A = this chain, B = another copy of it.
Amino acid sequence: MKEATLKQIAETLGISITTVSKALKNYPDVSDKTRKAVHELADSLQYKPNSFAVNLRMQESRTIGVIIPELVHHFFSSVIDGIVAEAEKHGYLVIIQQSNESVVMEKSQVELLLNKRVDGIVMSLSNESNDDEHLKELLRRNVPFVQFDKISKLLNSSKVIIDDQKAACEATTHLIHKGCKKIAHIRGPVNPQNAIDRFLGYKKGLEKHDIPFDPSLVYTCSRVSFEEGKAFAAQILKEHPDVDGIFCITDLVAVGVLAYFNEQKIPVPQQVKVIGFSNWFMSQVITPSLSTVEQPSYEMGTAAFNVLLEEINARKENRVREPKTVRLETQIIERESTRG
């Protein structure tokens, strides 16, 4: 698209480019008459200052990058919602990238964002992220960087998280208080910190109530999907027909468990009680409605943006700043799947 330039305005009015530039910035050494003529012509030509040139001068892009595992996931779209809304308030644009749980994608996306000179990066790690050289590189280069939800504890960056261990312990305790004595856990993959912490919280919940931990009651998802929920429900019934409670890594998996139990006419909560994690919208509309752990996703997004902004501003002012960890509160939501 053709754009009006300073040069074009200068030539049309027969004045210098410097004078046009000064007139547009309302410098006092330009006559009122010239200033008015320049502004009028600029308006009629729909002149816009070239933002690349402006950015080049300012060395900031007022754009941030966000990398998440997947967007079609109620939790992440709600976090993004919070990031975009908060960024908008502060005049920042948001570039979204999806790693699709692949560390190779994640690396090339970090690279691309750095080449774009974004002012900072907010990120939830892919499940494969045992290789974190690209993230250490961000820290070495002093790029403003905030991790959220799926984080690496080994990276000394700012973080916005929940206390997964505590929340999982509470979910397990909730099942125990509802009378469950043999509780299975459908856990997330081996790598992600939040899957590890929820598993540890489950174990701790059992221990606190003197229920012996039985490793054969733990089932490990690889894709954390609805289909895996259905498949593990079938396997649990077969291997441990006397299980009376199931704590699932996330609502999507729990909904798969409920779907299988509905098909098999296994009464929930009478025979088995089920609790999920994250409070997806659908959990309140399915039958039976699903008990879960409310995770403040939108707030996680606004907090992540604000911590990133603090990081950006500290660097602008050449302040040294220790990484900050924001821990948001969770709570148990009781619905039909654990009632009674």
Contact = CB atoms under 8 A, between A and B. Distances in A.
A98 B81 contact: yes
A50 interface: yes
Q: How large is the interface on A (under 10, 10 to 19, 20 to 34, 35 or more residues)?
A: 35 or more
Given A1-B143, A71-B84, A285-B286, 11 more contacts: A51-B116, A52-B53, A52-B61, A63-B95, A71-B77, A84-B96, A84-B97, A93-B116, A226-B281, A281-B282, A286-B286
Contacts of A255: 285
A32 B319 CA distance: 42
A141 B1 contact: yes
Nearest to A113: B93
Interface in A36-53: 46, 48-53
Q: How many copies of this protein are present in the complex? A: 2
Interface string A75-110: 001101100110010000111111000000000000
Contacts of A16: none
A154 interface: no
B63 A71 contact: no
Interface of A: 1-2, 46, 48-53, 55-56, 61, 63, 70-74, 77-78, 80-81, 84-85, 88, 93-98, 112-117, 141-143, 226, 255, 258-259, 262, 281-282, 285-287, 315
Given A77-B71, A115-B51, A285-B226, A95 B97 contact: no
